[in-house]
Structures are given as C-alpha cells and as structure tokens.
Amino acid sequence: MTQADTSFVIDPRFNGPADSGNGGYACGLIAGHIGEQVKIRLQKPLPMGIPLAIRRLQSEAWQDQWQVLNGEEVIATVFKTEVVVDVPNPPTYLDALAASKHYAGFQNNLYPTCFVCGPERHRGDGLRIFAAAVPGRDIVAAPWLPDASLGDANGKVKPEFIWAALDCPGAFAAIPYGRPALLGEFAVHVSRLVHVDEPCVVTGWKISVDGRKYRAGTALFDEDGELCAFGHATWIELLKP
C-alpha cells in the first residue's frame, strides 16, 4: 500500500458479535491492504457494511504505523511486527474431530452467529470451527474443511479467512468459558495458503494471563500435519455491567 489512504468494507456475513465484524477476519483484510506483516490493535467495535479507511501515519516518529478509521474515529491502530510463537505439535485430524464434539459453545454460546465459531452458522456460510480441549494436552483443537466460497481463483483459501480461522480458538484456549471477551490485538504469519476442501486442523493454547488480558497462540496445519500459519492474540475480558 502506498502512503495514500485506501478503504475496505466488512460484509455483514463476516460478523463476530451479531452487530459488529469478526475481529480475525477484519484484521486479515487490514493486513492484506497494507501488504506487511502487522499487529492490529482493535479499539472499537468493527462496523459492517460501510467503508472504513486505512491511513498511514506520516510523522517520522510514527513510521510503520497505520490507523483504521470510521469517518474521523480511530477504530484500530496497526503496527509493523514479526510474529514469534512457540507452536505445540498438532493432534491428528481424527483427534481434533473427537475434541470438537465437546465444544463448549454448543450450549449457551455468547456469540452463536459468529462467522468463525458460531454453531448457528450453516456449512458454506460460517467456518464452524468448534475448538475444544484435547485430552492429555494443554491445547484446544478443531477440524476445518474450508469451503469453496473462501477460495481464490487458484483454489487457495484467501488470507483473510486464515486469519479468521486463527481467531476464536485462542479465546477458547485461554479464557474460562462463559466470560465475555473481545479480541484486543492480533498478529498472524501465513507461511502457505491451504486449499479449499483440504482437511485442516486448527489449534489454540494459552500463553499468559494478566488481569483481564489473556494471551493465546493459534496455529493452522494442513492435511499432512504441516504448519501453514500461526498467530498471537490478546483477548480482553469485558467488565460486568
């Protein structure tokens, strides 16, 4: 991206909470427009269906930083970064499938229509990534079979959907279930785009807890168990009203 502004729109299909965009998907869109490896700090709910601007900060003191704006309101700040995480070995696809049957979000889900983890989303609409604990491991995992609507002209899954897939599993790994939280910061490194209809495994694990801040790692593996993408997220637990 040049120093000139650009804009993008979050389609209402790609919601997280019912009234705002999914954080992982939106971060992937932002990263794609910037064309750099970045960390996105989300500061406001992400509006859907309206143009949002990306503006590079011009001051010498603010090099390699960008803002995402809704009009003049800053809703996210973007920083150039390098993503470094220690990725645990993945379970098999069958073990991830077995774990997902115990997904806590099948009952009393806080965000039942979330594009990534919402059980009310149908196949071919939502990602339906239902990450749950793997017995004997300090990780959560889920199978993922990307559908054709997520692919590019070459049959590869678009990067923004890989960012999305690496979003919610981190929350289920790090945050005690039932505590409402939203994505605060997210950074992803994509090594290789997986194929549409390729059986994949997504994992998540807790890194640290600091008050209401929960840090988690996530990773995506292809059908051969090869690491294709990994991410680092900070989740913010919401204060009770």
Share of the chain above pLDDT 90, in %: 89
The single-letter code of the amino acid at 168 is C
Mark residue 154 as left, alpha or beta (left: phi above 0; alpha: psi -120 to 50; beta: remaining).
alpha
pLDDT at res. 239:
83
Q: 142-170 burial by CB neighbour count: b if 16+ within 10 A, else e? A: bbbebbeebbeeeebbbbbbbbbbbbbbb
All residues at 6 or more sequence positions from 99 whose CB lies less than 8 Å from its CB, including other chains: 91, 131, 132, 133, 134, 135, 140, 141, 142
Domain ranges of the chain: 6-80, 93-237
Predicted local confidence at residue 177, as pLDDT: 87
Domain 6-80: which CATH number of 3.10.129.10, 1.20.930.40, 3.90.1310.10, 3.90.1150.140? 3.10.129.10
Is 2 a residue whose pLDDT tops 80? no
Domain 93-237: which CATH number of 3.10.129.10, 3.30.420.40, 3.40.50.720, 3.10.310.10: 3.10.129.10
Q: What pLDDT digit, counting tens, does each position of 155-201 carry?
A: 999 999 999 999 999 999 999 988 889 999 999 999 999 999 999 99
How does pLDDT run across 54-63, given as a tens digit for each residue?
999 876 656 6
